[in-house]
């Protein structure tokens, strides 16, 4: 495999090579999905000695790989950004990649593919806006379009809509005039739609052929999306589905890989039995990444093995679910209600639909559950009513009351007055967030009324349908994550994960360990009982994820999500049990008893809460992207963690013991812990007592401890030698002595431990954390993670890591569980005999 990037000088047509990578690249996956030509697979065979003419094309089964792909369609990829998670970051696009995901779409022309790709992003305002002429003058519009930001495509389209010419925008942006002409064409069609007066056949056909959604047409004609869809379908204007075949229809395709277009000929073949649709997770984003694709893929694998025809609907070229051989049929389509309903209609026409899974792809398909059910689509697994019950505060509280469980004191507010009253009753600090979010979007810990007022003022949409949720924040609590299966009668508890960071850090950013290392048997049994009661009360049929908090030995229920969670892949790999496969079969009516006995998919006895004492310990750690995001002044954004998720990925460390498993997870996350050198320690007053023993252990190992004044005094009073360094706010001394940030930048510090506090100390901490992030040394901001790091450093200094394959870990775990079950059975038989 090889990737080459070219640049073309627009005036002369001169072509230059920017760079060449002798490997497959990010664009290799995109090109493979766009053409159906499996680049990495073919490159692997070439490296084994095959020649191109010896490798068959999987799709045609007649042509060799030397037959280059020919396209009779257009493919558009658009990136998805997450600057809303980093409000201090500059959104100017540069040579540093800043997108966190991407969506891809296909159409018979550029405008159709572009508009499908934009609505695949699932972001508010991602579709082009044709409803109003911009208020700014043409020079201002052109100036806005000049700057390369995440909004540039929209700024260019709006500038054209506002009267700027193609020539003016080409001079300002150097975007090829052909693309500008295409955006101008869309503006012209939008004008025709607005002027049409009614939903005519001619207007609808022209609009749909250029990618306009029912929602966009409705906005331009003052109709609802549902009305436009109803009229369109009554007029017989429906998409057809074309096939990706690598050869522009020269040869037949044997892999049903489809995309929609408002064209003439439908290329979907009839199928013998009803299909099961799996809705994917769409473009990767913070809070919803590749973990959900794992569940979709495993569900498809299990269902196909059980004899079902599976249909995957997704728009993300980075995923395994959009490989043409993962499902019986693949539709590369946006995950909007309009597009999904059309896929379902196409499947109904060609053989029928058994049902749809919406619980595997995260929040994207989950949001469609009720609308699909209202349209008469059968939902497999947990029902839309149960999904909504778990999200509805009042209904879910009744489930907890009936089970004798408690949640942190909470309330729902639709105004600042509501929020203030609830916060006063609950007591500060409180956790505030919008309803129906994934990844902690918009979530914040609020310590006083002034900050609550600021949060409510900044909230973009607060209505009775979209209230703000307010919870008591449990300080110093241990968070617990649970993934379980429930079939209506029996429960299989997949795993209990103990968070290493204390409450207040989003679960997606917190390291966690499985099996839990500090929870007693009594707590585990209470968690098991609570999990079953919630699953039964909600009405789960398949996967459920529940988050608990343990504070002063009281178990609180934080939230329940009756769907696949981002921890399902971690639990599955840590325990050797394929949770998503089991959940898919439960959705078709298979029981947990059958999964244990007939399918052998679950252990015959026990579950993830009864792992043997010699079970391997697995640690999940977040991968954070702070080094890629900078403020307009060029500073790295603050790496301080909180209740809003910011990680873009995760890694896993596994070993016989927690300490080495944690060390492996840090190394895997490009955050390898030092085994010697200098460690800077500066903590808030509330944390000083808690860190003394851990710092002493590092000092005893030979590390040089460096601190600012207050922390250094505390350490010295406890017999720990600590050097003093100047704070960032103090600046360099007259003699040239630098600050701690200067030492970090100079490479003289090997690890930073800094917990935040208010005012000047907070700004000091930001500068310090930014310095550590910019040069890539570990920067720890919580006491719990620091204690775990010290334990891991001691282990690395004491003994070597063991290296064992995941398959060996799983086999050893199965053998250990089997032996434990046999011993228990023998003991039971002996007692019975006695």
Digit-coded pLDDT (tens) for 380-413: 999 999 999 998 888 999 999 999 999 999 888 8
pLDDT average, residue stretch 798-826? 84
- Do 684 and 697 have their domain in common? yes
pLDDT tens-digit profile of 413-438? Answer: 888 888 899 999 998 888 888 765 55
Contacts with 147 (C-beta within 8 Å, 6 or more apart), sequence order: 92, 155
Rounded mean pLDDT of the chain?
91
- 113 within domain boundaries: no
CATH, residue 483: 3.30.470.20
- Quote the crossing angle between the two packed helices 201-209 and 225-234, to the nearest 10°: 110
- Do 459 and 348 have their domain in common? no
Range of the structural domain that residue 288 is part of: 240-377
- 822 within domain boundaries: no
Q: Is the pLDDT of residue 758 over 60?
A: no
Q: How many domains does the chain have?
A: 4
Instruction: Specify the pLDDT at position 284.
Output: 92
- 465 within domain boundaries: yes
- Do 642 and 534 have their domain in common? no
Instruction: Specify the pLDDT at position 602.
Output: 94
pLDDT: which is higher, 236 or 643: 236
- Do 602 and 663 have their domain in common? no
pLDDT tens-digit profile of 649-702? Answer: 999 999 999 999 999 999 999 999 999 999 999 988 888 999 999 999 999 999
pLDDT tens-digit profile of 70-79? Answer: 899 999 999 9
Q: Is the pLDDT of residue 482 over 50?
A: yes
- 20 within domain boundaries: yes
Instruction: Specify the pLDDT at position 449.
Output: 87
Q: What is the pTM of this model?
A: 0.91
E strand intervals along 658-721: 678-682, 704-707
With bands split at pLDDT 50, 70 and 90, how would you rate the model's confidence at 460? low
CA angle 177, 179, 183 (to 5 degrees): 110
Instruction: Specify the pLDDT at position 11.
Output: 85
E strand intervals along 512-598: 512-514, 542-551, 554-561
CATH, residue 747: 3.40.50.1380
List strands edge to edge, sheet with 722-724: 722-724, 704-707, 678-682, 751-754, 779-780
- Do 634 and 588 have their domain in common? no
Least confident span in 346-350, 455-459, 531-535, 598-602: 455-459
- 685 within domain boundaries: yes
Cβ-contact 728, 741 below 8 angstroms: yes
- 69 within domain boundaries: no
Instruction: Specify the pLDDT at position 629.
Output: 72
pLDDT tens-digit profile of 708-752? Answer: 888 999 999 999 999 999 888 788 877 778 899 999 999 999 999
- Do 600 and 625 have their domain in common? no
Instruction: Specify the pLDDT at position 831.
Output: 64
CA-closest candidate to residue 58, choices 307, 241, 256, 250: 256
CA angle 310, 312, 314 (to 5 degrees): 175
Q: Is the pLDDT of residue 761 over 50?
A: no
pLDDT cut 70: percent of the chain above it: 97
Q: Is the pLDDT of residue 208 over 70?
A: yes
Q: Is 319 left (phi over 0), alpha (psi -120 to 50) or beta?
A: beta
pLDDT cut 90: percent of the chain above it: 65
- Do 570 and 650 have their domain in common? no
pLDDT average, residue stretch 789-807? 91
706-713 contacts at long range (C-beta below 8 A, 24 or more positions apart): 706/678, 706/679, 706/680, 706/681, 706/740, 706/743, 706/749, 707/680, 707/681, 707/682, 708/682, 708/740, 710/685, 711/681, 711/682, 711/683
- 830 within domain boundaries: no
* Structure-derived torsion over alpha carbons of residues 164, 168, 170, 171, reported in degrees to the nearest 10: -150
Least confident span in 104-108, 156-160, 265-269, 468-472: 468-472
- Do 329 and 260 have their domain in common? yes
- Do 371 and 495 have their domain in common? no
pLDDT: which is higher, 208 or 633: 208
E strand intervals along 420-570: 430-434, 444-446, 468-472, 478-486, 491-499, 512-514, 542-551, 554-561
User: From CA 592, how far away is CA 601, in angstroms rounded?
Assistant: 9
- Do 561 and 444 have their domain in common? yes
φ, ψ dihedrals at 494, nearest 5°: -70, -45
Q: Beta-carbon neighbour count of residue 107 at 10 Å?
A: 25
Instruction: Specify the pLDDT at position 53.
Output: 94
- Do 616 and 626 have their domain in common? no
Final residue before a domain boundary, out of 377, 408, 423: 377
Q: Is the pLDDT of residue 759 over 50?
A: no
User: From CA 575, how far away is CA 598, in angstroms rounded?
Assistant: 20
Instruction: Specify the pLDDT at position 833.
Output: 62
- 514 within domain boundaries: yes
- Do 485 and 570 have their domain in common? yes
Helix (H, G, I), strand (E, B) or coil at 450: helix
CATH, residue 282: 3.40.50.20
């Amino acid at each position: 495999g090889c990737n080459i990037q070219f640049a073309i000088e627009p005036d002369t047509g001169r072509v230059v090579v920017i760079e060449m990578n002798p490997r497959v690249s990010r664009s290799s996956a995109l090109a493979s999905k766009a053409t159906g030509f499996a680049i990495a697979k073919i490159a692997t065979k070439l490296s084994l000695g095959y020649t191109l003419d010896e490798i068959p094309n999987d799709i045609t089964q007649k042509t060799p790989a030397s037959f280059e792909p020919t396209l009779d369609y257009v493919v558009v990829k658009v990136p998805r950004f997450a600057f809303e998670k980093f409000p201090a970051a500059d959104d100017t696009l540069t040579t540093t990649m800043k997108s966190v995901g991407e969506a891809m779409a296909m159409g018979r022309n550029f405008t159709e593919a572009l508009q499908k790709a934009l609505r695949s992003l699932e972001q508010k305002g991602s579709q082009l806006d044709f409803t109003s002429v911009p208020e700014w003058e043409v020079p201002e519009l052109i100036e806005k379009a000049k700057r390369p930001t995440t909004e540039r495509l929209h700024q260019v389209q709006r500038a054209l809509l506002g009267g700027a010419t193609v020539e003016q925008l080409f001079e300002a942006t150097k975007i090829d005039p052909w693309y500008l002409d295409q955006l101008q064409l869309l503006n012209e069609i939008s004008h025709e739609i607005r002027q049409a007066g009614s939903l005519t056949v001619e207007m609808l056909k022209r609009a749909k052929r250029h990618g306009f959604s029912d929602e966009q047409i409705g906005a331009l004609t003052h109709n609802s999306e549902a009305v436009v869809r109803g009229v369109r379908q009554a007029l017989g204007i429906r998409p057809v589905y074309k096939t990706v075949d690598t050869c522009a229809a020269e040869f037949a395709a044997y892999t049903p890989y489809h995309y929609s277009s408002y064209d003439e000929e439908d290329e979907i073949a009839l199928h013998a039995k009803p299909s099961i649709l799996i809705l994917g997770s769409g473009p990767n984003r913070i809070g919803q990444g590749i973990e959900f694709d794992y569940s979709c893929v495993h569900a498809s694998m299990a269902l196909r093995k059980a004899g079902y025809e599976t249909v995957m609907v997704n728009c993300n070229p980075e995923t395994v679910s959009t490989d043409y051989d993962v499902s019986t049929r693949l539709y590369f389509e946006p995950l909007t209600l309009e597009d999904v309903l059309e896929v379902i209609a196409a499947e109904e026409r060609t053989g029928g639909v058994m049902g749809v899974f919406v619980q595997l792809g995260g929040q994207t398909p989950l949001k469609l559950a009720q609308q699909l059910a209202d349209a008469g689509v059968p939902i497999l697994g947990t029902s839309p009513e149960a999904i909504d019950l778990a999200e509805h505060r009042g209904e879910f509280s009744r489930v907890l009351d009936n089970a004798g469980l408690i949640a942190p004191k909470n309330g729902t507010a639709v105004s600042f007055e509501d929020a203030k009253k609830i916060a006063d009753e609950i007591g500060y600090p409180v956790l505030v967030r919008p309803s129906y979010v994934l990844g902690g979007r918009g979530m914040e810990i609020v310590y006083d009324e002034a900050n609550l007022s600021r949060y409510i003022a900044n909230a973009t949409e607060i209505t009775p349908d979209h209230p703000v949720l307010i919870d008591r924040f449990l300080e110093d609590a241990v968070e617990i994550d649970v993934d379980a299966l429930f079939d209506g009668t029996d429960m299989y508890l997949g795993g209990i994960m103990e968070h290493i960071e204390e409450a207040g850090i989003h679960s997606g950013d917190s390291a966690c360990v499985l099996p839990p290392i500090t929870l007693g048997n009594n707590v585990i049994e209470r968690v098991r009982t609570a999990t079953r009661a919630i699953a039964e009360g909600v009405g789960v049929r398949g996967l459920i994820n529940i988050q608990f908090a343990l504070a002063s030995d009281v178990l609180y229920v934080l939230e329940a999500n009756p769907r696949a969670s981002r921890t399902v892949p971690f639990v599955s790999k840590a325990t050797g049990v394929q949770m998503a496969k089991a959940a898919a079969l439960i959705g078709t009516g298979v029981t947990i008893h059958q999964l244990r006995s007939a399918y052998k998919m679950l252990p015959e006895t026990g579950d993830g809460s009864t792992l043997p004492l010699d079970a391997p310990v697995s640690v999940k750690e977040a991968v954070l992207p702070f080094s890629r995001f900078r403020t307009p002044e060029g500073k790295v954004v603050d790496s301080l963690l909180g209740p809003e998720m910011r990680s873009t990925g995760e890694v896993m460390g596994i070993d016989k013991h927690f300490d080495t498993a944690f060390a492996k997870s840090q190394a895997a996350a490009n955050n390898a812990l030092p085994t010697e050198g200098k460690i800077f320690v500066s903590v808030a007053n509330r944390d000083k007592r808690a860190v003394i023993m851990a710092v002493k252990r590092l000092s005893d190992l030979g590390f040089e401890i460096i601190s600012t004044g207050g922390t250094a005094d505390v350490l010295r009073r406890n017999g720990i030698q600590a050097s003093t360094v100047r704070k960032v706010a103090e600046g360099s001394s007259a003699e040239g002595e630098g600050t701690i940030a200067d030492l970090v930048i100079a490479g003289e510090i090997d690890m930073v431990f800094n917990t935040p506090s208010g005012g000047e100390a907070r700004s000091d901490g930001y500068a310090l954390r930014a310095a550590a992030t910019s040069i890539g040394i570990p920067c720890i901001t919580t006491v719990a993670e620091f204690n775990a790091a010290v334990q891991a450093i001691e282990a690395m200094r004491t003994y070597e890591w063991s290296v064992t394959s995941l398959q060996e870990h799983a086999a050893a775990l199965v053998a250990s569980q089997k032996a434990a079950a046999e011993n228990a059975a023998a003991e039971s038989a002996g007692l019975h005999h006695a």
